[in-house]
Every structure is written in structure tokens, then in C-alpha cells.
Amino acid sequence: MKMKNGFTLVEIAIVLIIIGLFMGTILKGTELITNAKIKNIENNFNSIARAINIYRENYHKLPGDDDGADRFEGVEAGGNGDGVIGGNYDSTNNNDESRLLWLHLRSANLVKRVPGDLQQQPKNAFGGLIGISSDGAKCSMTLFVVFTKIPGNIAVILESHSDDEEADKGRICSDKSNYAGDNGTANIEHKLYFSL
């Protein structure tokens, strides 16, 4: 009589437990990475707001709008000193105040220098731009920081941490009219406007 080769129930149970533990570890790791990215966005905003306030206190002008920025070596003034930061947050024109802002902050050693273009807007944890402007504001903001390519579920979390959970008003606003359907939906991307 031949014996059939196969797995016992105990062996199958052990394999399923190992697979379950492995999947749990992967899911927990993904959650930790997402939480770190959310914290990174919040820290970026706080650091930028602090840098702008220090610049304003030290030089009595907004970075980018500063008509006396030629005090820094190799920097031409550029700004018009009218108290607003002109130009789109995602401008590629180095003469726009929204781009000069990064040059002024980096020249004053208030934000990290980057190799190459000192006027380049930095990237956020989700691969989108971080931009600053007074033009095209949402929710009656006069000066704002924009984070682009923020997944919908992350936008909801950031709103719940720091604001009123409404996309069209408050300290944080979205380019979308609301967050309906964004809970658990990562494929809807938002531009989040943080008021300074």
C-alpha cells in the first residue's frame, strides 16, 4: 500500500500563521511610512512659517518681496516691497517673487540649500511641490503655502489634525470643494493651501 504525500492540518496552520504575521508586518510598515509623511508635511509647514517670520523680523520685509535683498552676496533685490508675494506658487519664472522667496530664505540660511537652482521650490513627501504666494489664494488667504499631490485620504487626516475638516474654509483649504469620498481614497489628489 502506497502512502500519499501531502500536508497535515498542523503544517497548513503553521504556514497560514506565518503568512498572516508577514502580512501584518507589511501593513504596519505601510502605516508607519504614511504617518511619517504626514508628520513631514506638518513639519515642513511649521518650518517654512517660522523661516518667513524670522526673515520678516530680521529684515522687515517678506522674503521674495524684499527690495533690499541685494544685502546677500550674489543676490539682486528683485522684490518690489509692496507687502505681498506675487507670482504663482508653482512659477518657473525666476523673476517672480514666489521664486525669489526661496532664494532669499536660502541666502539668509533659514531653509536648507539645495544643489543647483537656489530658487527651485522644494518637493513634499508625496512628490509634489511646496510653493508660497499671495496670488490665487483660496478661502480669503492673503499669504499661503501650497502642498501639491496630496492624496485625498491624507488631506482628510491633515485637516483633522490642524483645522476644521472642511475643504472650503479655515486655516487649510483644498483646491477641491469638499473631501466627500476621500476617506480611504488615495487616488484623488489635492492641492492643500495652508494660511500663513
Where does the pLDDT of residue 86 fall: very low under 50, low under 70, confident under 90, or very high at 90 and above? very high
* Residues in Cβ contact with 99 at an 8 Å cutoff, skipping those fewer than 6 apart: 64, 87, 91, 92, 93, 119, 121
Domain that holds residue 134: 9-195
Domain annotation covers residue 2: no
Per DSSP, 161 falls in state: H
Domain annotation covers residue 19: yes
Domain annotation covers residue 1: no
Domain annotation covers residue 3: no
Mean per-residue pLDDT, 71-92: 90
Domain annotation covers residue 51: yes
**What strands, in cross-sheet order, belong to the sheet with 172-174?**
130-133, 144-151, 189-195, 172-174
Domain annotation covers residue 24: yes
pLDDT at position 103: 94
pLDDT at position 177: 84
Domain annotation covers residue 91: yes
When divided into structural domains, the chain yields a total of 1
Domain annotation covers residue 50: yes
Question: Which tens digits make up the pLDDT trace of 15-68?
Answer: 889 998 888 888 788 889 999 999 999 999 999 999 999 999 999 999 999 999
